[in-house]
């Protein structure tokens, strides 16, 4: 890492109130003209964590500190950009406020100490193709109607997308009792139980089926297995969105197991007529020990055809592991209290990377990047759609940044429908 020299200048056009620090988004250089500060959120975040009131905005042209025109005391460091330009790290304070002046200078010095050339390895979106297609279906339905569009249950999407759909007229219904007659009803990617689909048809609702093809295939398998008299075991997570839709195809004949130990308490009608399925949304590899336990207890158990496996969770987990193995620090964009954020952090730490949850770009601290020439970036399902871009932009203000996207993708040859 390179350390950029911090200079004290004057910003004659900047008026900063005592008790606050201005973090410039742009500074006017007498020779090079306006210089951007992509890392302004990082400098501002450091100041806010220390209790300083922060404002953002352009600082105008800077001048020699001996200039008698007044204005704000400006502390500035420069660093090169990948495109050959120059970026600045800067903070300004009222010159009579010694506390704010000291805070401004310290923040710029702290970040100038970690400037340098880096590479950023970014993971792909946390949302699978099925979830993305369902979100697009709801958006298209909302855009094409003047009346409300109802979505059954939850939609697999980030919080900002959900809020945006609600503002545009989408209504999320917990049951069909909340859906008026004749309304449009979207079935989400994780599907619904058979009785919900039947009731919607009986009531004459306009059903827009956005069920993921892989989930729909598993639902069909569950119905077929129940019709031939099998007891069905679903390897998955109780409470997962997809579980109710699959188990609801064979009510009273489906048991959900999540670990090898949980197979010991299974009770079946006939040990010779037992089948199992794998819930989408969990890594295929995690299901293998459970399937082995089922085969040990029920030697005649029948499993699903591998063409129907959903590899989305496996690919995402492996992508994060691969990125973490090549990085010194891993930034996880999302909410700190999100189970998915914690899960992604765990995957990264298992591969030896320092992992930090970032709810906004300003949450990044300079000590997270000390000694880090390679940084990983992964999005949690709780992250807004713009957060990864904002983090990337802020990091680019610390020096030349090479950005690469790395992902592991499993493609089942010849399988129609969505990619895993």
Q: Delineate the domains of the chain, giving CATH numbers in brackets.
A: 7-114 (no CATH), 121-125+312-405 (3.40.1010.20), 129-211 (3.40.50.11270), 215-308 (3.40.1010.20)
What is the b/e burial string over 286-311, where b = at least 16 CB atoms within 10 angstroms of the residue's CB?
Answer: bbeebbebbeeebeebeebeeebbbb
pTM over 0.85: yes
Q: Judge whether 58 and 91 are in contact, CB under 8 Å.
A: no
Distance CA 229, CA 224 (A): 9
Beta bridge partners of 86: 80
Closest of 247, 249, 200 to residue 220, by C-alpha: 249
pLDDT digits (tens, 9 = 90+) for 353-389: 999 999 999 999 999 999 999 999 999 999 998 999 9
Q: Degrees (nearest 5) of the Cα angle 403, 407, 412?
A: 155
pLDDT class for 304, splitting at 50, 70, 90? very high
**pLDDT for res 144:** 80
**pLDDT for res 416:** 58
- Residue 109: how many other CB atoms lie within 10 Å: 18
Distance CA 337, CA 97 (A): 38
**pLDDT for res 29:** 82
**pLDDT for res 3:** 60
Q: Judge whether 402 and 82 are in contact, CB under 8 Å.
A: yes
The lowest-confidence range among 24-38, 196-210, 268-282 is 24-38
Q: Judge whether 206 and 229 are in contact, CB under 8 Å.
A: no
The CA-based dihedral angle spanning residues 52, 58, 62, 67, taken in that order and rounded to the nearest 10 degrees: -70
Q: Judge whether 50 and 99 are in contact, CB under 8 Å.
A: no
Q: Judge whether 80 and 86 are in contact, CB under 8 Å.
A: yes
Mean pLDDT across the chain: 93
**pLDDT for res 73:** 94
Distance CA 227, CA 229 (A): 5
Closest of 192, 183, 178 to residue 142, by C-alpha: 183
pLDDT class for 329, splitting at 50, 70, 90? very high
Closest of 359, 395, 294 to residue 49, by C-alpha: 359
Mean pLDDT within 328-346: 96
Distance CA 378, CA 365 (A): 17
The CA-based dihedral angle spanning residues 132, 383, 238, 308, taken in that order and rounded to the nearest 10 degrees: 30
Backbone angles phi, psi at 84, to 5 degrees: 95, -5
CA 160 to chain centroid: 11
Query: Coil, strand, or helix at residue 23?
Result: strand
The lowest-confidence range among 59-73, 102-116, 134-148, 262-276 is 59-73
- Residue 24: how many other CB atoms lie within 10 Å: 28
Distance CA 302, CA 398 (A): 56
Distance CA 27, CA 13 (A): 11
pLDDT digits (tens, 9 = 90+) for 213-228: 999 999 999 999 999 9
**pLDDT for res 419:** 43
Q: Judge whether 235 and 184 are in contact, CB under 8 Å.
A: no
Closest of 285, 279, 208, 197 to residue 242, by C-alpha: 279
**pLDDT for res 227:** 94
Q: What is the DSSP string of 70-138?
A: --EEEEEEEEE-TTS-EEEEEEEE-TT-HHHHHHHHHHHHHHHTTBS-EEEEE---SS-HHHHHHHHHH
Q: Judge whether 211 and 153 are in contact, CB under 8 Å.
A: no
Closest of 60, 95, 100, 75 to residue 9, by C-alpha: 75
Question: How much of the chain, in percent, has pLDDT values that exceed 70?
Answer: 97
**pLDDT for res 239:** 84
**pLDDT for res 324:** 97
């Amino acid at each position: 890492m390179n350390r950029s020299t911090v200079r004290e200048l004057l910003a004659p056009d900047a008026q900063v109130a005592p008790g606050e620090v201005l973090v410039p988004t742009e500074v006017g250089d007498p020779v090079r003209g306006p210089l951007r500060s992509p890392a302004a959120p990082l400098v501002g975040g450091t100041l806010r964590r220390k209790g300083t009131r922060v404002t953002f905005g352009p600082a105008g042209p800077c001048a020699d500190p001996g200039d008698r025109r007044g204005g704000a005391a400006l502390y500035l460091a420069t660093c090169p950009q990948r495109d050959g330009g120059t970026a600045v790290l800067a903070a300004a304070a009222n010159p009579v406020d010694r506390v704010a002046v000291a805070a401004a200078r310290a923040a710029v010095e702290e970040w100038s100490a970690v400037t340098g050339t880096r590479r950023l390895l970014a993971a792909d979106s946390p949302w699978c193709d099925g979830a993305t297609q369902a979100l697009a279906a709801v958006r298209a339905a909302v855009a094409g109607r003047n009346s409300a569009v109802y979505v059954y249950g939850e939609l697999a999407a980030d919080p900002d997308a959900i809020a945006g759909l609600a503002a545009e007229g989408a209504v999320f219904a917990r049951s069909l009792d909340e859906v008026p007659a004749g309304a449009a009803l979207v079935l989400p990617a994780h599907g619904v139980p058979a009785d919900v689909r039947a009731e919607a048809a009986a009531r004459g609702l306009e059903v827009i089926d956005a069920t993921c093809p892989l989930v729909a295939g598993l639902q069909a398998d569950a119905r077929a297995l129940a019709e031939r008299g099998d007891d069905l075991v679903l390897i998955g997570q109780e409470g997962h969105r997809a579980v109710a839709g699959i188990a609801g195809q064979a009510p009273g004949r489906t048991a959900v197991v999540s670990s090898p130990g949980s197979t010991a308490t299974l009770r079946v009608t006939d040990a010779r007529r037992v089948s199992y399925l794998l819930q989408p949304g969990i890594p295929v590899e995690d299901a293998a020990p459970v399937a082995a336990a089922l085969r040990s207890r029920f030697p005649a158990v029948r499993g699903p055809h591998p063409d129907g496996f959903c590899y989305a969770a496996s690919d995402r987990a492996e992508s994060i592991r691969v990125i973490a193995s090549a990085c010194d620090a891993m930034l996880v964009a999302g909410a700190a209290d999100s189970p998915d954020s914690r899960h992604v952090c765990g995957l990264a730490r298992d591969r030896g990377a320092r992992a930090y949850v970032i709810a906004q770009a300003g949450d990044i601290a300079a000590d997270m990047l000390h000694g880090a020439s390679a940084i990983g970036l992964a999005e949690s399902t709780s992250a807004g759609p713009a957060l990864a871009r904002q983090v990337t932009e802020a990091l680019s203000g610390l020096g030349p940044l090479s950005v690469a996207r790395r992902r592991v993708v499993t493609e089942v040859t010849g399988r129609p429908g969505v990619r895993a």
